[in-house]
């Protein structure tokens, strides 16, 4: 579980979100640039969560979409999971 929670994608998304929250506290006006920053953060978080889900599926031998970064690495991830357990 800690491999998923402390993955670099999730950590970077959370630190980016914290930076955006700090910027909102400084009473700056909400402009289109801020809206794009929040949209970008949401996309980054969604991609990080998607990578975690795909990695988990690959380790358990389930179907992984062909456009996933872990597509084609399922046997390797499955063997690594068996060696850890």
* pLDDT, tens digit, 9 for 90 and up, residues 5-57: 667 788 888 899 998 888 888 777 888 998 999 999 999 999 888 888 888 77
pLDDT above 90 coverage of the chain, percent: 20
49: how many CB neighbours lie within 10 A of its CB? 15
pTM for the whole thing? 0.72
pLDDT, position 79: 62
Question: How far is the CA of 27 from the CAs of 18, 34, 35, in angstroms?
Answer: 16, 12, 15
Q: What is the pLDDT of residues 43-76, one digit of tens each?
A: 999 988 888 888 877 777 777 777 777 777 767 7
How large a percentage of the chain has pLDDT more than 70?
81
Contact 67, 85 (CB under 8 A): no
Q: What is the dihedral of CA 19, 24, 29, 30, to 10 degrees?
A: 80
**Domain layout of the chain by residue ranges:** 2-84
């Amino acid at each position: 579980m800690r491999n998923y929670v402390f993955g670099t994608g999730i950590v970077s998304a959370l630190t980016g979100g914290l930076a955006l929250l700090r910027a909102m506290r400084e009473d700056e006006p909400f402009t289109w640039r801020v809206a794009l920053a929040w949209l970008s953060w949401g996309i980054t978080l969604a991609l990080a969560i998607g990578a975690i889900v795909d990695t988990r599926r690959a380790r358990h031998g389930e179907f992984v979409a062909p456009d996933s970064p872990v597509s084609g690495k399922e046997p390797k991830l499955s063997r690594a999971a068996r060696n850890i357990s």
